Amino acid sequence: MVSGNGEANSNRSFGLDDLPKISGMATLLNAPYQENLENTDIALIGVPFDGGVVFRPGARFGPAEVRNKSGMIGRMNHQTKIEPFGRCRIRDVGDVSLESIYHLESAVDEIEQYFLRIVSQGVLPVSVGGDHSISYPILKAVGSKEPVGLIHFDAHCDTGDAAYNSKFHHGGPFKNAVEAGVLDPTRTIQIGIRGTAEKNWAFSYASGMQVLHIEDFKKIGIEGTIEQIRRTVGDGPTYLSFDVDCLDPAYAPGTGTPEVGGMTSFEAQQVLRGLGGLSLVGADLVEVAPTYDQSGITALLGANLVFEQACLLAQSF
């Protein structure tokens, strides 16, 4: 097992309690790295696939860069005081390694198989994409027994129809998931929605999803949003999907389809920190595209958002 600093506190000998990591292999959240699921409560998983993008590719390198920036992540959430590594066994179990990357359907199938294996062992997955097309097969796994609810941060509803002769692209995972019976639209809320492609999202409204546009979010505020999320998803099993383009391009330039007029990183953190106690069955952070992230702030943000997700999931342990 390759040691990260998450568990073993291996930096303590250097003095300062929490140090940025300047040597050793980069792992997600500095978690111990292992290529199996032994002794694992939460699995951090890279999904380096961007075969579902419509516009700018590159999110396949998201997992690698979020790992690189994880060296700047410590161990305690200063606001909620949660220490995820103190609560449960978190491991970076590596990347999904696909055999077919040139056929979107095949890739989607492979991802589903991978996550069915995770879920079947009672491990909670926190995934780093890759583009948003990966959320559909993950939902097929985490919703395989009963449809799950969804908390979805994004600039786009991603409930679009087929495009370019495929319905599995990154603009449609949540329509696919509802149609596959693994996602409950009435327990789904989409936050931060905006932009000029609104016509693509008719399915969200038709299926009964809650769509919280960015101007609605700004109006009801962080507290109001937290309440509306809780009201929507209730106590049932719920998945959390965070597309980094929910944030304004100023905060997240490194993504495939940035949309101006978005959330700040502070707002995103505050909403996430208000979601403790829900029955989360997994989470993902998608669409970090390092080639558009010259200053590296998007991957750093991604690492922080994965940390928030780990804090939330760790609360059930």
Nearer to its own copies, 115 or 168 (CB): 168
Q: Is there binding between residue 257 and its own copies (CB under 8 A)?
A: yes
* Length of the chain, in residues: 317
- Distance CA(286)–CA(188), nearest Å, equals 18
- Distance CA(94)–CA(47), nearest Å, equals 9
Name which of residues 49 to 68 contact its own copies (CB under 8 A).
50-52, 54-58, 60-61, 63-64, 67-68
Name which of residues 179 to 208 contact its own copies (CB under 8 A).
193-200
Query: CA quadruple 86, 286, 131, 239: dihedral positive or negative?
Result: positive
Nearer to its own copies, 15 or 122 (CB): 15
Site string for its own copies, 210-239 (x = CB under 8 A): ---xxx--x---------------------
CA 80 remoteness from chain centre: 20
Site string for its own copies, 274-293 (x = CB under 8 A): -----------------xxx
What tokens were used for 5?
């600093």
The CB-of-253 to its own copies minimum distance in angstroms stands at: 4
Name which of residues 141 to 180 contact its own copies (CB under 8 A).
160-166, 168-169, 171-172
Among 8, 18, 117, 224, binds its own copies (CB under 8 A): 18
DSSP string, 243-295: EGGGB-TTT--SSSS--SS-B-HHHHHHHHHT-TTS-EEEEEEE---GGG-TT
